[in-house]
Amino acid sequence: MAKFKFEYIWLDGYKPEPNLRSKTKVLEMDFFHGDLKSLPIWSYDGSSTQQAEGSKSDCLLQPVRVIPDPQRKNGYLVMCEVLNADGTPHVTNARATFEDDSDFWFGFEQEYVLTNNGLPLGFPEQGYPRPQGPYYCSVGVKNCAGREIVEEHFDVCLDAGIELTGINAEVLLGQWEYQCFGKGAKRAADDLWLTRYLLHRVTEKYGVEVEFHPKPIKGDWNGSGMHCNFSNKEMRNVGGKALFDEIFEKMALAHPKHIEVYGSENDQRLTGMHETQSIDHFSVGVSDRGASIRIPVATARKWKGYLEDRRPASNADPYKVVSRILKTLRSEIVGKENGVTKKSKSKKS
């Protein structure tokens, strides 16, 4: 028998965005091959996470995804859903609010800023560095800061089996991005939360903070987003201009509902400047990074492939983002014709 360390990870009840919480459970086993069924439901004090009252404080943790923990011997990271004491989903459990769909693939472009004493790494204590321009995809101490942290996080995620597909320095000094890909709506969102958890844990070693605010530095500086690339089997394998036009129409009609769950204070980022569309407008464009939905050139060439939703903020909850995209694409409302709402059943992949 060996002792295995399982880090149970969940989202708390803080608003407007939840925080990550975790605690370690030791289990003695002959071996562990990633079987979720062998991991017990656990409990915690919900009164300390704004998810319960002190007189009825127990909340339950239901394991839903487990991956190796490269930073621990015999360690695993366990993403959990929060349940009430009777086993029903807790009101803060956004993962339980939508049905999974394995036909959907999601790729998140997670931007963030590494900060120290409230300033992005590389910023002087007084004033500002040179205007943005030389920092994007940069190299050298004058143009990028925090690479050792970014590289360590990159390696840890890959060693854990999370499908990161790339990293790069971003437009703001001290700002970075990684791309996280997943097949299946819930798995993709699970893995994005796990990458955030690992990023926080890596930065603990360096005494640096991770800032996910969508506009970390006011003024003529880019904000931080979490662009969401998405496709389903029909988009990838069947395609056609009519199919994509229907998607754009659905997205336009549901624009306010998307903005509601795409991150707090996103209005500070979605201004129509710095590679964004205004928060009050919806637009679509081929290769247009100033549009709400960017159509990649490769997709537009044969009208087959994926789309990029550029509206989600860096602090958005990926569970809510994928849930909203699924609801919109499954919606029966496809548009209006001569002032009359037109409906049709959604095509299934």
Q: Rounded to an integer, what distance in angstroms lies between the CA atom of residue 173 and that of residue 144? A: 6
Q: Answer whether residue 314 shows pLDDT above 90.
A: yes
Equal CATH topology for 2-92 and 105-343? no
User: Which pLDDT does position 196 carry in this prediction?
Assistant: 98
Token reading at 289: 């990074």
Q: Answer whether residue 341 shows pLDDT above 70.
A: no
Which residues lie closer than 8 Å to 90 by C-beta, 6 or more apart? 13, 46, 51, 59, 82, 83, 84
Q: Rounded to an integer, what distance in angstroms lies between the CA atom of residue 6 and that of residue 76? A: 5
Q: Rounded to an integer, what distance in angstroms lies between the CA atom of residue 282 and that of residue 238? A: 26
| CATH top-level class of 105-343 | alpha beta
Q: How many CB atoms lie within 10 A of CB 301?
A: 11
Task: Answer whether 307's CB lies under 8 Å from 231's CB.
Answer: yes
User: Which pLDDT does position 137 carry in this prediction?
Assistant: 98
pLDDT digits (tens, 9 = 90+) for 132-160: 999 999 999 999 999 999 999 999 999 99
Instruction: Give CA separation, 155 vs 133, 161, 167, in Å.
Output: 28, 10, 11
Give percent above pLDDT 90 in the chain. Answer: 94
Give percent above pLDDT 70 in the chain. Answer: 95
**Band of the pLDDT at 101, cuts 50, 70, 90?**
confident
Q: Answer whether residue 266 shows pLDDT above 80.
A: yes
Return the exposure string of 138-167: e unless at least 16 CB atoms fall within 10 Å of the residue's CB, then b.
Answer: beeeebbbbbebbebbbebbeebebbbeeb
User: Which pLDDT does position 332 carry in this prediction?
Assistant: 75
Q: Rounded to an integer, what distance in angstroms lies between the CA atom of residue 249 and that of residue 251? A: 5
Q: Rounded to an integer, what distance in angstroms lies between the CA atom of residue 111 and that of residue 114? A: 10
Task: Answer whether 335's CB lies under 8 Å from 254's CB.
Answer: no
Q: Name the CA radius of gyration of the chain, rounded.
A: 21
Q: How many CB atoms lie within 10 A of CB 35?
A: 8
Task: Answer whether 189's CB lies under 8 Å from 106's CB.
Answer: yes
2-92 placed in CATH 2.60.120.10: no
Q: Answer whether residue 343 shows pLDDT above 60.
A: no
Q: Rounded to an integer, what distance in angstroms lies between the CA atom of residue 177 and that of residue 169? A: 6
User: Which pLDDT does position 10 carry in this prediction?
Assistant: 98
**Residue 151: what residue type?**
E
Domain ranges of the chain: 2-92, 105-343
Average pLDDT taken over every residue of the chain: 94
User: Which pLDDT does position 103 carry in this prediction?
Assistant: 95
Q: Answer whether residue 176 shows pLDDT above 70.
A: yes
DSSP state of 95: G
Token reading at 323: 């849930």
Q: Answer whether residue 335 shows pLDDT above 60.
A: no
